[in-house]
Amino acid sequence: MKKCKKIFTLMAILWMAAIFFFSSQNADESTAQSNRAGMLAGHLFVRGFDSWTEQEQLDFARKIDHPVRKTAHASEYALLGMLLFGAMTGTRRRKMCYAWLASACYAATDEFHQLFVPGRSGQLTDVCIDSGGAVVGILAAAGISLLISRIRVRHRQSR
């Protein structure tokens, strides 16, 4: 296995462990984390957010909780898809298929795992969101891979 593939494999395993850690948080911990992300979004994107009362800020964070959670799902699996694409061997198309299959399977097992976490539930819709996020990440990685290949070919031809 090439050194680069080993690095991608290690990074994918570490990222899967991070996803497992986040999924292992009980409902209260998960909600608090989402609220922090919502507050950060308010500070970054809402003009005058700092002048709002603490209760108004918290209400805003709670109001955007659902999109924050779903965006987090898609984003964490987009990164996983990219890492798994980099770890795979074979043709670009085969790597894309295997990376997606591995991502989707991990998403399904992660949602199953959440059935055993207090206050959490496993959701088929989250598996779909995770798998869709993986597709986006895999397509981005495949595009970058294709671009790098073309640059290398041009570089060899110009010698």
CB neighbour class for 103 (10 Å; exposed up to 12, middle 13-18, buried from 19): buried
pLDDT category of residue 142 using cuts at 50, 70 and 90: very high
The pLDDT of residue 158 = 82
For 15, 40, 115, 133, the CA distances from 76, given in Å and listed in that order, are 8, 18, 19, 8
pLDDT category of residue 159 using cuts at 50, 70 and 90: confident
For 1, 74, 81, 148, the CA distances from 137, given in Å and listed in that order, are 23, 9, 5, 16
The pLDDT of residue 1 = 61
| pLDDT above 80 for 114 | yes
Which pLDDT tens digit goes with each residue over 44-82? 999 999 999 999 999 999 999 999 999 999 999 999 999
The pLDDT of residue 127 = 97
Q: What is the mean pLDDT of the chain?
A: 95
Query: Which residue did the predictor score with more confidence, 159 or 107?
Result: 107
**Containing structural domain, residue 13:** 3-157
| pLDDT above 90 for 41 | yes
The count of domains in the chain is 1
- String of DSSP letters for 9-47: HHHHHHHHHHHHHHHTS-HHHHHHHHHHHHHHHHHHHST
pLDDT category of residue 157 using cuts at 50, 70 and 90: confident
The pLDDT of residue 98 = 97
Q: CA 60 to CA 55: how far, in whole Å? A: 9
- String of DSSP letters for 68-113: HHHHHHHHHHHHHHHHHHHH--S-HHHHHHHHHHHHHHHHHHHHHH
Which pLDDT tens digit goes with each residue over 7-18? 999 999 999 999
